[in-house]
C-alpha cells in the first residue's frame, strides 16, 4: 500500500537548511498497523504529512497503491485525500461552528455523496463511536475523549483504506486513550491499514510493527 525509497525532505530558510527526512525507505502492507516512534524533531510528522499527501518530498520516491505519487494528477491527489486516506490528529481538528453530525458529514459533502447516503453513513459512524446521543452538540461542549471519537468517526465515514494518525491519544487521559486505541485497533482488524505517530510505548503495543526514527533516518524496525 505504501512504499518509500530514499525519501528526503529539506526545509530551507534563508539561514538554515533542515534535513527533516534523510533517505527514509519504508514499506507498509495493506492491513498492517505500523507505529512510527522517535524523539521530538526526528521527522515523524513530516513523514506522516508526506504519506498523507499534505506535503511533498524534496527527493526520493513515494508509491501509494503502486503508483508514484508525483504521477498522480492534482484531482487524483485530492480524491485520495478525501476518500482513501483518513486523518486523525492529536488536536482533533474539528470545526467549532459545526455540530457533531455536521463535522462527521463534511467529508461526504466534499465527495458529493447523496443526502440519503450521507445520513446513513453518518449515523453508522456515530453509532460505532458511541456518540449518537451527542449529534447536536458542538465540539466545545464535549470532553477530549468525545472529540477524538468524533474525529475518528469523521475519518472513517468515507470508508478509507488507510488511516494516518498523529499522536491520537496525545491530548487524552489514559482511560480515553485506551478507548481510542481500542477503536483504531478494531478498525485495523477489519482491514484498515493504520500508520500512527506516537510517543507512547503503550499505544505502540497495539501496532504490528514499530519503525524508529532518529534525526530523519530509520534506525530500527521492530515487529511486535
- Among residues 119, 81, 87, 83, the alpha carbon closest in space to that of 102 is found at 119
Nearer to ligand ADP, 113 or 194 (CB): 194
18 or 132: whose CB is closer to ligand ADP?
A: 18
Minimum separation from the CB atom of position 117 to ligand ADP (A):
36
Shortest Å, Cβ 21 to ligand ADP: 8
Q: With beta carbons less than 8 A apart as the criterion, state whether 25 and 47 touch.
A: no
* C-alpha span between 181 and 175 (Å, rounded): 10
Report the 10 Å Cβ neighbour count for 214: 14
Residue 108 or residue 197: which is nearer to ligand ADP going by CB? Answer: 197
**In terms of CB distance, is 51 or 122 closer to ligand ADP?**
51
Is the CB of 72 or the CB of 214 nearer to ligand ADP? 214
Closest CA to 45 of 1, 103, 87: 87
Q: At which residue does the C-alpha cell 485530492 appear?
A: 78
Measured between alpha carbons, how far is 116 from 143 in angstroms, rounded to an integer? 29
For ligand ADP, the binding residues (CB under 6 A) are 11, 18, 20, 38, 40-46
Element holding 219 (H helix, E strand): strand 217-223
Q: Which of 1, 29, 25, 37 is nearest to 206 (CA)?
A: 37
Q: Output the smallest distance, CB 43 to ligand ADP, in A.
A: 4
Q: How far is the CB of 167 from ligand ADP (least distance, A)?
A: 9
C-beta of 110 vs 214, nearer to ligand ADP: 214
Residues 168 and 90: beta-carbon distance below 8 Å: yes
Minimum distance of ligand ADP from residue 216's CB (angstroms): 7
Amino acid at each position: 500500500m505504501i512504499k518509500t525509497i530514499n525519501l528526503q525532505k529539506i526545509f530551507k530558510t534563508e539561514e538554515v537548511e533542515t534535513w527533516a527526512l534523510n533517505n527514509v525507505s519504508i514499506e507498509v502492507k495493506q492491513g498492517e498497523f505500523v507505529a512510527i516512534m522517535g524523539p521530538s524533531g526526528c521527522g515523524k510528522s513530516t513523514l506522516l504529512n508526506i504519506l498523507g499527501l499534505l506535503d511533498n518530498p524534496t527527493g526520493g520516491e513515494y508509491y501509494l497503491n503502486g503508483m508514484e505519487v508525483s504521477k498522480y494528477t492534482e484531482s487524483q491527489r485530492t480524491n485520495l485525500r478525501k476518500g482513501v486516506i483518513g486523518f486523525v490528529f492529536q488536536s482533533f481538528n474539528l470545526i467549532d461552528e459545526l455540530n457533531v453530525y455536521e463535522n462527521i458529514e463534511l467529508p461526504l459533502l466534499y465527495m458529493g455523496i447523496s443526502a440519503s447516503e450521507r445520513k446513513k453513513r453518518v449515523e453508522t459512524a456515530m453509532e460505532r463511536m458511541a456518540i449518537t446521543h451527542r449529534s447536536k452538540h458542538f465540539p466545545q461542549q464535549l470532553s477530549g475523549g468525545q472529540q477524538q471519537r468524533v474525529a475518528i468517526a469523521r475519518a472513517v465515514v468515507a470508508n478509507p483504506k488507510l488511516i494516518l494518525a498523529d499522536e491520537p491519544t496525545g491530548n487524552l487521559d489514559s482511560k480515553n486513550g485506551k478507548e481510542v486505541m481500542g477503536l483504531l485497533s478494531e478498525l485495523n482488524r477489519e482491514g484498515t491499514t493504520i500508520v500512527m505517530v506516537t510517543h507512547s510505548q503503550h499505544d505502540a503495543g497495539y501496532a504490528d510493527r514499530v519503525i524508529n526514527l532518529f534525526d530523519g533516518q530509520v534506525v530500527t524496525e521492530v515487529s511486535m
